[in-house]
């Protein structure tokens, strides 16, 4: 498959480049443009980014490989990153991961046959106080997970709905 940026993408990339005194710092946000366009930044997409920015492919590859948020292969429409770090683990993170494996009929690291979901086990997402939790496609967090909450999330994603933003107050501010 030949990858190409749209005119809108190229306009956005030029705007990104204009924010920096040199082109190299634009690598991260341009990789996001690419991932949003193609759903991943496989080696062919990395090559496109390098050519578009006039940078060495090795540089773009190194950046893409370093950050786990960049998908180096095709993923499902919705990527469910389930945290199993210590806080989430103690609060049932592995239970949620295994429940999703059973519910979706896949193992961690796999994608459903219909291409709707990819399931990942990830390290800390920085929301230990809201464990167990997961992140949906590098975007929204879903906190204090239960099997019922997971069922509702999967159903809403299947119906094309994004998860509702969940406002969680800090204990020190609850009486204000």
Cβ neighbours, 10 Å, residue 90: 12
Per-residue tokens: 65: 């490989």
| 119 neighbors 78 (Cβ within 8 angstroms) | no
Give the whole-angstrom CA distance, residue 62 versus residue 92: 34
User: Looking at the whole model, is its pTM more than 0.85?
Assistant: no
Residue 112 has pLDDT above 70, yes or no: yes
Mean pLDDT of 120-133: 90
Residue 171 — pLDDT band, cuts 50, 70, 90?
A: low
**Which residue carries 């159903």 as its tokens?**
155
Give the whole-angstrom CA distance, residue 33 versus residue 52: 12
Least confident of 53-57, 119-123, 154-158, 172-176: 172-176
Crossing angle, helix 43-53 and helix 57-66, to 10 degrees? Answer: 130
DSSP letters for 106-158: --TT-B-TTSSEEEEEES--S-GGG-S-EEETTTEEE-S--HHHHHHHHHHHH
- What's the whole-number average pLDDT of the chain? 92
> Domains, the chain, ranges and CATH?
7-66 (1.10.10), 78-158 (3.40.30.10)
Instruction: Look at residues 135, 119, 44, 133 and name the one whose alpha carbon lies nearest to residue 76.
Output: 119
pLDDT score recorded for residue 141:
92
pLDDT score recorded for residue 169:
65
Residue 88 has pLDDT above 70, yes or no: yes
Residue 109 has pLDDT above 80, yes or no: yes
pLDDT score recorded for residue 123:
86
pLDDT digits (tens, 9 = 90+) for 29-87: 999 999 999 999 999 999 999 999 999 999 999 999 998 889 999 999 999 999 999 99
Give the whole-angstrom CA distance, residue 8 versus residue 22: 22
| 88 neighbors 131 (Cβ within 8 angstroms) | yes
């Amino acid at each position: 498959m030949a990858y190409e940026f749209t005119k809108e993408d190229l306009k956005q990339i030029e705007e990104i480049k204009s924010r920096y005194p040199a082109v190299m710092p634009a690598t991260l946000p341009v990789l996001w443009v690419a991932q949003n366009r193609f759903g991943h930044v496989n080696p062919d997409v990395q090559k496109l980014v390098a050519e578009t920015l006039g940078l060495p492919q090795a540089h773009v590859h190194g950046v893409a490989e370093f950050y786990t948020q960049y998908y180096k292969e095709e993923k499902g429409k919705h990527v469910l990153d389930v945290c199993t770090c210590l806080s989430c683990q103690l609060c049932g993170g592995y239970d949620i991961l295994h429940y999703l494996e059973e519910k979706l009929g896949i193992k961690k690291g796999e994608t459903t046959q219909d291409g709707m979901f990819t399931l990942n086990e990830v390290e800390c997402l920085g929301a230990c106080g809201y464990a167990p939790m997961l992140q949906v496609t590098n975007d929204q967090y879903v906190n204090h997970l239960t099997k019922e909450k997971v069922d509702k999330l999967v159903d809403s994603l299947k119906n094309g709905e994004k998860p509702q933003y969940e406002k969680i107050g800090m204990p020190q501010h609850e009486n204000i």
